A and B are shown apart, each in its own frame.
Chain A
Amino acid sequence: MTGPARVDVEGWGWRYAGRKLPATREVDLVIEPGERVLLLGASGAGKSTLLAGLAGLLGGSDEGETTGRILVDGAPPETQRGRIGLVLQDPEAGIVLSKVGDDIAFGCENLGVPAAQIPARVAEAVASVGLAVPLDRPTKALSGGQKQRLALAGVLAMRPGLLLLDEPTANLDPEGVAEVRVAVEGVVAREGTTLVLIEHRTAVWADLMTRVVVLAPGGGVLADGPPERVFAEYGEALAAAGVWVPGRPVDLPVLAPVSAPDAVLRASALSIGREKGAVVASGLDVSLPRAAGTVITGPNGAGKSTLALTLAGLLPELAGEVVAAEELAARGVRRPVRWRSTELLTRIGTVFQEPEHQFLAATLRDELAVGPRALRMAPAEVDRIVDELLERLDLASLALANPFTLSGGQKRRLSVATVLAASPAVIVLDEPTFGQDRRGWRELVALLQREIARGRTVVAVTHDADVVRHLGQHRIRMGDAA
């Protein structure tokens, strides 16, 4: 069977084994061949589950229970392998083999395509997504945007009629996002493949889509229609649910630039790098104004994260010194990199790009208590701090949950909370809004603005223009990689 596929979803629902409530239910949907559907909804509404159901990948009866049915071209999706292509959010998880050409050929091999035809299909797929790398390039050497395009090529080599994309750009930087957008547009323009896409960054994709479907958290379809109409009618509900609706900016104040900075951390003629001898940037003159928000921006490879980690006392300076203000000195030492771990904890807190890199405990309470306990505070004091933070960051109901089981937004809040537990004067954040939907984004930026109002210094590495606008009282722009 060739050509774009048709999808029929009839009263479909799925409940994962071991859970009481279904992930989604009573979904009724018909997608005509060639339609391009944007699938939206609050987190927990079952979008990814629906996509997995469309691909026939939800597993057997031991993994869950299904109601209703899904038909692709009139048959269950499990019988249509190769006709349905799926690209996932994590660029790493979509790559099977270590060389580009081998990975793209993987789908063809599985489908029994004669070996003689495979090279042509691979070349076609590569051209289709605009991936201009040699076929023996190791896949782990690719950038995020390239990896996602590789995953897409691997799917296209199977010549599917239905293309399913589950937040394909969520883990990419702006450059990668643009690359994938262009690639997908090219594909649907050429082949007219039926497309179902989950994304919360709707501004990037809205004009490519012919239809928007919104899933309701309780079950069923909340809205279904052309993009303009759905955004107009449901814009507010969608924005509250975390979708970036075009034309609805976040309602947060823009902080005023700082004019006479009184620096809490300063460095001149600073050279930075991850390893000795490998200088990433040099001759930097940096000063971080007290009780204000600073943003560090710049292209990929310019050394933004490296600078942030150096200022935070985690990476040694390759030349020059980072010097802290007088009142931050520990045992008379003013260079953060010389401070002991427990001294650093109460002076400069660091929030990493991937919250899970920081997680240490099996429950949220214990996670928040790590810092205070490392400072040898009394148990009663520790509990007080933990309770206060749980309340403040709206995590109280999750106090006994395992940190790894939280949603993306919750993990981010938790990682910031663990840093706040030790009350440092400075907080350094590496790409804090990465992968966040609108709600998570808003909560985080609002939180940081509140902390600035309380007198904390906030430094954020970011490539998000909105973050720059709302937190960038002082801006450090890193140049292009020399």
Chain B
Amino acid sequence: MSAATTERSRTAWLDGVNPVTKVAMVIVLAAPLLVSIDAVSAATALLLELLCVPLTGLTFAAVLTRLVPVIVFAPVAAVSMLLYARPGGTVYGTFLFATVSDDSIALSLAVLVRVVALALPIILIFARTDPTELADALAQVAKLPSRFVLGVLAGARTVGLFVDDWRTMSLARRARGLGDRGALRRFFSMAFVLLVFAVRRGTKLATAMEARGFGSDIERTWARPSTLSGRDAVALAAALALIAVALGAAVVSGAFRVVGT
């Protein structure tokens, strides 16, 4: 039916990986980092992941652009840890509830790197995934109920169709005498109207879908089969290896530190 990537300029290696495998990869690359709070595992994971960027079909520029908000926020999480971690080692100063100590400095550094390391996998792995392909995979490979998967896909699609409405509504508000002040109020009133539109359209869409046999007990067939291949095994193994190396590096360097200790 529809070839998966007819309109993409280049096909990347990662595009051939099944979306379900991609989900597993994201979990594999993120969850283990949550076990330990140290800078070495996070930094190693970060570095290795950045080395894999060519395989994803993204440019470094694109990745960096999407990392910007993360990098901007990371110091915040770090500062909070710096001031409020439970004190350990040499204490450098206290103020009200805040205490800066050796421990808190180490922890804040670790958190800084970890925030970025946790954000990167989704950016790298899912930036180019087609939602329909993802839904097909979740229903066929992961065996999630097709009613839910496709229903969510269809509903999610409708919300993205309202760009023109937004522009028209801004003009309408200027025409009605409300364009001069109260930008925040305008924003919320427009957002609310779009929500009404979206829910209405979703309701009509549900009827149309049911009319086409959706949601019944009939066993469904798939026009776009989603399958697993060798590449999936390779990708998942690579992700596992990557995180193992990252954690291993932390253990070897002695920085490994389980959360809560």
Residue numbers of A with Cβ under 8 A of B are: 52, 55, 57, 81-82, 84-86, 88, 90, 92-99, 101-102, 105-115, 118-119, 122, 135-136, 140, 151, 154-155, 158, 309, 312, 314-315, 340-342, 344-345, 348-350, 352, 354, 356-360, 370-371, 374-375, 404, 418, 422
Contact = CB atoms under 8 A, between A and B. Distances in A.
A50 to B, nearest CB: 15
Interface of B: 1-3, 6-7, 131-132, 150, 153-154, 157-158, 161, 165, 168-169, 171-180, 189, 193, 196-197, 201, 204-205, 207-214, 216, 218-225
Contact of B209 (A96, A158, A342): A96
11 contacts: A52-B207, A88-B204, A92-B201, A96-B209, A102-B1, A106-B209, A114-B221, A115-B222, A341-B178, A356-B193, A360-B178
Contact of B175 (A111, A115, A312, A354): A312
Given A108-B223, A357-B172, A340 B212 contact: no
A101 B153 CA distance: 16
B221 A92 contact: no
Contacts of A154: 212
Contacts of A112: 218-221
Given A86-B207, A96-B209, 12 more contacts: A88-B207, A98-B132, A101-B1, A102-B2, A102-B223, A102-B224, A113-B221, A122-B1, A341-B174, A341-B177, A341-B180, A370-B177
Given A110-B216, A112-B220, A85 B211 contact: yes
Contact of B218 (A111, A349, A360): A111
A8 B223 CA distance: 35
A86 B211 contact: yes
B219 to A, nearest CB: 5
A115 B161 contact: no
Contacts of B193: 356-357, 359
Given A97-B132, A122-B1, A404-B196, A110 B177 contact: no
Nearest to A97: B132
A97 B150 CA distance: 9
A114 B2 CA distance: 17
Given A52-B207, A88-B208, A341-B180, A350 B221 contact: no
Contacts of A102: 1-2, 132, 223-224
B222 A109 contact: yes
Contacts of B207: 52, 57, 86, 88, 93
A379 to B, nearest CB: 17
A366 to B, nearest CB: 12
B220 A94 contact: no
Contact of A360 (B153, B189, B201): B189
A93 B178 contact: no
A371 B177 contact: yes
B112 to A, nearest CB: 39
Contact of A99 (B2, B158, B189, B212): B2
B161 A140 contact: yes
B196 to A, nearest CB: 6
A35 B204 CA distance: 27
Contacts of A312: 175
Contacts of B157: 96-98
B149 to A, nearest CB: 12
A154 to B, nearest CB: 6
Nearest to A78: B216
Contacts of A88: 204, 207-208
A98 B224 CA distance: 14
B213 A158 contact: yes
Contact of B176 (A86, A118, A358): A358
A474 to B, nearest CB: 22
Contact of A97 (B6, B154, B175): B154
B140 to A, nearest CB: 11
Contacts of A359: 193
Given A81-B216, A93-B205, A158-B212, A101 B177 contact: no
A155 B180 CA distance: 48
A113 B158 CA distance: 27
A319 B158 CA distance: 37
A96 B225 CA distance: 18
Given A341-B177, A374-B177, A356 B197 contact: yes
Contacts of B189: 360
A115 B208 contact: no
Which of A81, A102, A371 has most chain B Cβ within 10 Å? A81
B177 A350 contact: no
Contacts of A119: 1, 223
Contacts of B211: 55, 57, 81, 84-86, 155
B205 to A, nearest CB: 5
A348 B174 CA distance: 11
B168 A352 contact: yes
Which of B153, B157, B212 has most chain A Cβ within 10 Å? B212
B213 A354 contact: no
B193 to A, nearest CB: 7
Contact of B213 (A111, A122, A356): A111
A375 B177 contact: yes
A374 B173 CA distance: 11
B19 to A, nearest CB: 15
What are the 10 A-B residue pairs with the smallest beta carbon separation, nearest first?
A: A341-B179, A110-B213, A374-B177, A93-B204, A345-B177, A107-B212, A86-B211, A105-B223, A350-B175, A81-B213
